[in-house]
Structure 1
Amino acid sequence: MATHRRPKQPSRARVSVLTAAAATAVALSAQAGAAQAAPKPTKESVKAQVDKLNEQAEAAAEKYNGAKEQQQKLQRQVNNMQDEVARQQAEVSSMQGTLGQLASSQYRSGGIDPTVQLMLSSDPSRFLDQASSLDQVSAQQAQTLRQLQEKQHKLDQDKAQTQADLAELDSTTRELKARKAEVQTRLAKAQALLNTLTAQERAALQAAETAAAQRASRAAARTALTPALAGNGSTAAASGTAQAALAAAKTRIGSPYVYGATGPSTFDCSGLTQWSYARAGVSLPRTSEEQANAGTRLTLSQLQPGDLVFFFSDLHHVGIYAGNGMVLHAPKPGASVRYEAMNDGYLPFQFGVRV
């Protein structure tokens, strides 16, 4: 009789080894596929991502700066109104104290005059409505109370409206701050990607940027030595004020770009223009969008040294025209105040403004 044996089952150890080997093969295959599907970014594409994120971050920062300035302005208004309300309330309280003394005197003499009762009423409007029918009331007292009541009412309305505006602005500021943080997070990711490039690639990018800045500086020096090159069809600054603002900005060359900074050692773009014009005796608004309405608008051919120049469709970047097709500005994070050619493609010119 034949003996039937069941096939020998592989051991658990052998199954584990085979499973692990299969998993490794799948993982290696997936990694190989991913590597083929996503080649390493070039240094040019990485730089383009960083530049785009810089642009978005600066736009968000300018809006945040504007909201913060408006918030501070409203807070000052609220504080002033609260002081005024307190002053008026003190006057009302003083008058009520005087009337209280009169009421006490009348009570001791046998009763309180109906006029005094009305003036001490918890409802001032009731007194004002009925005071005119009482012969005993002082016209001056009634007029004073009416003025105080009306002023108090207006102040309460203004205070309530300002508080509502401030609450709305607080909400907007938080939203803008969150947007700024989001952009900065993406910027950090792009910078991390930039750091994956080789040292030679990073050095090449830096060398190209440095060379462009040096060319712009040499052109600026030629402009200073040759007035005929000072502007498009112009041989001098737009005005003494513009010349002084440009001269002030030149003293800040090399100062680092920092979001929200207004000097004297660090700047963002509108912080530099505001600081420079302040040195020339002109108070500019805080943001680039507001500065765009600070004077007469100009085309490219009308620019003269010292004019403000605005870039990008939403006007989130501003600098000072330096002549010979160049701008002196605080460009972006990781860079410093410097000259830059306006025709290099990075700065889409919109218009100029003469303050």
Structure 2
Amino acid sequence: MRSHRRLASTSSGFDRGASAALCVLTATAAALGAVPATAAPHDDTRAEVDRLYEEAEKATEAYNKADERADSLKKQVGTAQDRIARQQDRINAMRETLGSLAGAQYRSGGLDPSLALLFSDDPDDYLDKAAALDRITAHQAGELKDLQTAMRELAQERAEAAGQLAELEKSRKAVAHHKRTVEKKLAEARRLLNSLPSEERAAYDRASRSGRDEMPDLGGALPPNARAAAAVAAARAALGKPYVWGATGPSGFDCSGLMVWSYRHAGVSLPRTSQGQRYAGRQVPLSQAQPGDLVTYRGDASHVGMYVGNGQVIHAPYPGAPVRYDPVGMMPGATVTRV
């Protein structure tokens, strides 16, 4: 994370509670000019803290992707297991039907060789042989072919489910790895901050909380439609709520979680990550931003806020800073998405 000069206003959730983007705001460095000149010897420490916060953001985005993938895979595995159970029930019913037929033939003095399929360790091999026997009836052949097909489908579904389970385990390990990375970066940042003299730490804390939670002058800008208006109203209702890693409200938020929560009130389901949110709608120039538009930052879209008019966004910055207003130019690489 590097210091970013505030630009002039333009017209333009191991634990499910940690399932989403940390999105630590680099605006902490934006107001470092307010730090007294005596703080100069500690500039390197503050710069290192900023860098660790930015690295934590990137690790968190990787965490969120892996966590989303794990959620998707869990649903796929559950669906596959349900399908396998139904197919097994179907096969059992087919075997029972053919078994009844075998019993009837045995009582009448003989057992059709084809029905030995029921007791074969290799139904496919037996069926290939039995198909050549002229004693197999057309009806029995149809029943056996149906059973063969069902067993092949079951075997394929079991193989696919096994692959999904393996991928799920891999994704879970990735989640844990990225979570440890984030926690390590944040712990190191806190250690460095605590190493600063009390006056320096206080100055840094003031700089990192330089955003506003009061209503700024939005220049009379109005949302373009009812959906955007509902999302903006929800985001404003969250002003002052704390940043909570992985949270989607209502008592706390991370950056992408705030967008998810706000647009949920507008009846819109957004992707969980800030990277996904960048492509959740139509891209428009920053100069044409309207209230309700999503504004993602940096090339990797590791932070997101909501444009509210007159060069202002609402966002959940980072741990220790509540949901607040900040200038849309607080960070580089702003990209606007109209949902």
Range of TM-score over shorter length: 0.7 to 0.9
1:312/1:143 CA distance change after superposition, 3 Å: farther
> Match for residue 30 of structure 1?
none
1:207/1:96 CA distance change after superposition, 3 Å: closer
CA contact (8 A) 1:311 1:349 kept: yes
Distance 2:328 2:44 in 1: 22
Q: How far off its partner does 1:339 sit?
A: 1.0
Structure 1 segment 75-94 matched on structure 2, within 5 A: 75-94=74-93
More RCO (CA 8 Å, sep 6+): 2
Distance 2:40 2:189 in 1: 11
Distance 2:132 2:281 in 1: 60
1:262/1:130 CA distance change after superposition, 3 Å: same
Q: Aligned residues: percent identity?
A: 47
Q: How far off its partner does 1:59 sit?
A: 2.0
Distance 1:147 1:350 in 2: 59
CA contact (8 A) 2:77 2:164 kept: no
What SS does structure 1 have at the residue aligned with 2:336? strand
> Match for residue 152 of structure 2?
153
1:116/1:159 CA distance change after superposition, 3 Å: closer
> Match for residue 166 of structure 2?
167
CA contact (8 A) 2:293 2:336 kept: yes
CA contact (8 A) 1:64 1:173 kept: no
Q: Does 1:350 align with 2:325?
A: no
CA contact (8 A) 2:283 2:336 kept: yes
Q: How far off its partner does 1:266 sit?
A: 1.6
Q: How far off its partner does 1:155 sit?
A: 4.5
Given candidates 284, 295, 302, the residue that maps to 2:288 is 302
Q: How far off its partner does 1:248 sit?
A: 0.5
What SS does structure 2 have at the residue aligned with 1:65? helix
What SS does structure 2 have at the residue aligned with 1:213? coil
- The normalised TM-score by structure 2 is 0.79
Q: How far off its partner does 1:72 sit?
A: 1.9
Q: Does 1:62 align with 2:46?
A: no
Q: How far off its partner does 1:247 sit?
A: 0.9
Distance 1:295 1:279 in 2: 17
User: Which residue identity lines up with residue 213 of structure 1 in the other structure?
Assistant: G
- Number of corresponding residues: 301
Q: How far off its partner does 1:261 sit?
A: 1.5
> Match for residue 190 of structure 1?
189
Q: How far off its partner does 1:144 sit?
A: 4.6
Between Structure 1 and Structure 2, the one with more helix by share is 1
Q: Does 1:280 align with 2:278?
A: no
Distance 1:50 1:283 in 2: 34
Larger Rg belongs to: 1
Distance 2:284 2:144 in 1: 56
What SS does structure 2 have at the residue aligned with 1:290? helix
Q: How far off its partner does 1:132 sit?
A: 4.9
CA contact (8 A) 1:321 1:328 kept: yes
What SS does structure 1 have at the residue aligned with 2:329? coil
Q: How far off its partner does 1:274 sit?
A: 0.9
CA contact (8 A) 1:59 1:316 kept: yes
> Match for residue 213 of structure 1?
211
- Name the Cα RMSD after superposition: 2.6
Q: How far off its partner does 1:316 sit?
A: 1.3
Q: How far off its partner does 1:102 sit?
A: 3.0
Structure 1 segment 1-355 matched on structure 2, within 5 A: 42-118=41-117, 120-130=119-129, 132-134=131-133, 137-210=136-209, 212-214=210-212, 217=213, 220-223=215-218, 226-227=219-220, 230=221, 236-344=222-330, 347-355=331-339
